[in-house]
Chains A and B, each alone.
Chain A
Amino acid sequence: MTDNIVSNKRPKMLVVDDNIDMRSLIMMTFGSSVFELLEAENGQDALKIIVKEQPDIILLDVMMPGEVDGIDACRIVKTSVYKECCVILLTAKGQKDDFQKGLDAGADAYVTKPFSPVALIEIVNTMWAQKQQAKT
């Protein structure tokens, strides 16, 4: 399942969700053997980790407590020097305007909860492959 990952080094994945069960589900879905997994439970913490670790892929929950929600965090990342990373918004909300807000904030993909782990892996792989192609 990680055949498409064209890199010698394990890509860094940041999982941001206020719910610990969601984080463990996502991390179990991808597995630490393929990705270097990082986690944050809110927007502010996520931004700190992004600066420090510069992850390749960010799975970002939209609705989080605190001053920075998923959309805000996405917008900040996509307008910063870290804009090359893949941001996949992950949310319970499925409304059209949320989808649009995510796109406006520069998200690469948008997945609604409940999601299929298999489908999420495919989305991440496709996204990652595109990024790698664009780089070469």
Chain B
Amino acid sequence: MKNTCDNFGEDVPNKLRQRELSTATDLKLKFFLEQSSEVIFTVDLHGLITFVNPAWSLLTGYALNESMGKSIRDFIHPDDVSKCFPLFLGEQNNCFYVKFITKQQQIVLLGASIHVMIEDNVLTKFSSLVDLTGQIRNQEALKKSNERFHLAITVAVDGLWDWNAITQEWYLSPRWKQMLGYNDDELTNELATWTERLHPDEAASVDYALKSALDDVTNDDYQLAHRLKNKAGEWLWVLCHAKIIRDQQGKVERMAGSITDISLLKETEKQLNNRQQELDAIINLSPDGIVTINHGGCVHSVNAMFLTFTGLTAQGLIGKTQAQLLATLKAISLPDCPAEITTGSVFKLLPASIFAHLAPQVNEGVGKNKVVNQLSSSRVLKVNVCELSTDVIHTVMYFQDITQEIEIDRMKYDFLTNAAHELRTPLSSVFGFTELLITRQFDPKTQQDIFANLHHQAQFLVKILNDILELAKIEARLSKEFHLTQYALDAVIKEGIALFTQEHTGCVINYLATAEVPWLFIDAEYIKQALFQVLSNALKFSPEGSMITVDIVGRGEGVYEQVGIAIKDVGVGMTQNDLNHIFERFWRGSNTHNIAGIGIGMALVHEIINFHRGHIEITSEPDVGTEVVLWLNAHAI
């Protein structure tokens, strides 16, 4: 091969000349060689020029005869000789840049191509040169503009970066590095500088997002927020935004963009998120029901308390229109429901909708009067509507549970009217009889009877006064908050009994703890109070010295679901009519005429047990006795 090549190196031009370009093909070749703006030449194995076309003179300034036989090496810029001269001697197709020095001592940048052809085992090699100086000038202009650009970006807030997909060159602006706490010279301009600093949580997503952006030929935009580790080892949130530049085939040529420090934004976002969580917690712990309405007039959210109040589900409410919400509320409210949900609207919910699952089973005792109290008072919700100016929520509806307020108001009213009633009856006697004494003459016997009656009325007034004072004390105690804590019921009952026997010396109470009872969530003070009241009644309505029995009973599958405190007496008992009214305040049984009291005890017990979500069962038979069972839920309420 080498020999062939040697021969050829000298042979080909000679042949070209010697044939005198006789054939048409040769004519064409000659024309092409002479007219070509590309330099076409051949060298021998030592690099001596054996042929050049006229374009050579235009490029180098040297005449053809000046150049023939000279080594190509003599024209190569000294910087490129060691690199490029051997390439001209090689026997492979090749392309490379080379700088030549012209006759006018100008440096020109040339693109050199070595073309090798083998035909019939004969190797033909020639080289071509293209002037790239013009292109380089453009590049220099570009470089200058780049420099200005770089100047601008060193002072910019955002860090800039630039990736040349063809040369795989990376550029990271000084500001880019500064943002991470580095000087420009501390970090190299390469991809690794970036990737090494990615947060492990986001490395994969950055890689994926970048690949997706690059692969999608229709896309020239890339944006992603991620963290970068700074020099101090802290994580910095940056928003990376870039443009992808593609060639006509969609191949990526370049990608350049910026990174913006969004740590503050992220911090704010985090704070907002925390605040949102706080708000969510507050909303869900709120004692008020809260419903939010979006700008479309539909339910956006409901809190836990609203669902507790209404027994509705979130799925059933979210997305409903206000009209549908109103209709839903109407369906579970008493008939006097407001026509719209506005501030001041009051919804009285049907009790069944809330407490249906708490309805107690009643075991009817044969031949005995029986009553089971139920949570009959319906929940009353008062609405407060607040309009907001936020983007998402237009209206917030607060549903305040005013059942207790209404109940307290009713209790106050009942108390005052009933107390007034109680006072008026003896006062009417005093008033009437004294007027008769003043205006008429009576015989001494009648007069004596009237005075005795007046004295009796005065006594009665004193008793009423004492009862009212007692009631005031009970009410004051009842007005304190309930606090449910885990207690051993057994201990609470023992304490309650001890408290009672302290005040009523001589009273005998037989306490049997039949059922073994787990600890219960109760307000021990109030349970003791309730027990005290029932015991007072048992004592009051029983013959002196008779036995009162207290027991713990349980019912339910396996572990007791309900635990009861049973108080049994052998007293006067009650009729069904009495039982129907027993939980009403100021109600007094038909056979209580000679017993002090104004009818408040059982109403209080009822309230206490209601609060515990329990219920009361009373079984009674006139002249046989009464059994009261205070049922409590064994599970936490």
- Give me the interface of A with B, judged by CB distance under 8 Å: 19, 21-22, 24-26, 28-29, 63, 65-67, 92-93, 95, 113-118
Docked complex Cα distance between A63 and B436 (Å): 24
From A25, A92, A118, give the contact of B421 (CB < 8 A): A92
B15 close to A (CB within 8 Å): no
The CA of A29 and the CA of B420, in the complex, are separated in Å by: 24
Is there an interface contact between B425 and A113, defined as CB atoms closer than 8 Å? yes
B431 interface residue, CB < 8 Å from A?
Answer: yes
Residue-by-residue, is B392-423 near A (CB-CB < 8 Å gives 1, otherwise 0)?
Answer: 00000000000000000000000001001100
B590 — nearest CB in chain A belongs to which residue? A65
The answer to whether B439 and A118 touch across the interface, beta carbons within 8 angstroms, is: yes
A67 CA to B453 CA, complexed, in Å: 29
Quick one: closest A residue to B460, CB to CB? A21
Residues A116 and B431 in contact in the complex (CB < 8 Å), given A21-B457, A29-B436: yes
Residue in chain A with minimal CB distance to B426: A21
Report the nearest A residue to B457, measured CB to CB.
A21
Return B111 CB to nearest CB of chain A, in Å. 111
**Residues of chain B contacted by A114 (CB below 8 angstroms):** 424, 427-428, 430-432
B430, B432, B450: most-surrounded residue (chain A CB, <10 A):
B432
User: Which of A63, A67, A115 is close to B428, meaning CB atoms less than 8 Å apart?
Assistant: A115
Contact with A along B261-289 (1 / 0, CB 8 A): 00000000000000000000000000000
Contact A92 B428 (CB under 8 A): yes
Using A25-B436, A116-B432 as known contacts, list a sample of 7 further A-B pairs with CB atoms less than 8 Å apart, ordered by residue number in A: A22-B425, A25-B432, A26-B432, A65-B588, A92-B425, A113-B428, A117-B432
Question: B430–A28 contact, CB under 8 A?
Answer: no
How far apart are B312's CB and chain A's nearest CB, in angstroms? 36
A25 to chain B, nearest CB (A): 4
Q: How far is the CB of B589 from chain A (nearest CB, A)?
A: 9
Q: Chain B: residues with CB nearer than 8 A to chain A?
A: 417, 420-421, 424-433, 435-436, 439, 446, 450, 453, 456-457, 577, 588, 590
Question: For the complex, would chain A's binding face be called helix, strand, loop or mixed by DSSP majority?
Answer: loop
Shortest Cβ distance from residue B334 to the other chain A in the assembled complex, whole angstroms:
21
CB distance from A18 to the nearest CB of B (A): 9
- How many Å lie between the Cα of A134 and that of B316 in the bound state? 67
- A25:B429 contact, CB within 8 angstroms: yes
Which residue of chain A has its CB nearest to the CB of B431?
Answer: A114
Q: How far is the CA of A112 from the CA of B457 in the complex (A)?
A: 18
**Which residues on A sit within 8 Å (CB–CB) of B433?**
25, 28
CB distance from A16 to the nearest CB of B (A): 14
Residues on the A chain within 8 Å of B427, using CB = 113-114
User: CA separation between A118 and B427, bound complex, in Å?
Assistant: 16
Chain B residues with CB under 8 A of A92 = 420-421, 424-425, 428
Find out whether the CB atom of A117 lies under 8 angstroms from the CB atom of B436: yes
In the docked arrangement, what's the CA distance between A58 and B450, Å?
Answer: 24
Whether the Cβ atoms of B432 and A29 lie closer than 8 Å is: yes
Q: Which residues of the partner chain A approach B429 to less than 8 Å between Cβ atoms?
A: 21-22, 25
Residue among B427, B428, B431, B588 with the most chain A CB within 10 A? Answer: B428
Chain A residues, Cβ within 8 Å of B425:
19, 21-22, 92, 113
Which A residues touch B588, using CB under 8 A? 65
For the complex formed, measure the closest distance between the CB of B222 and the CB atoms of chain A, giving whole angstroms: 78
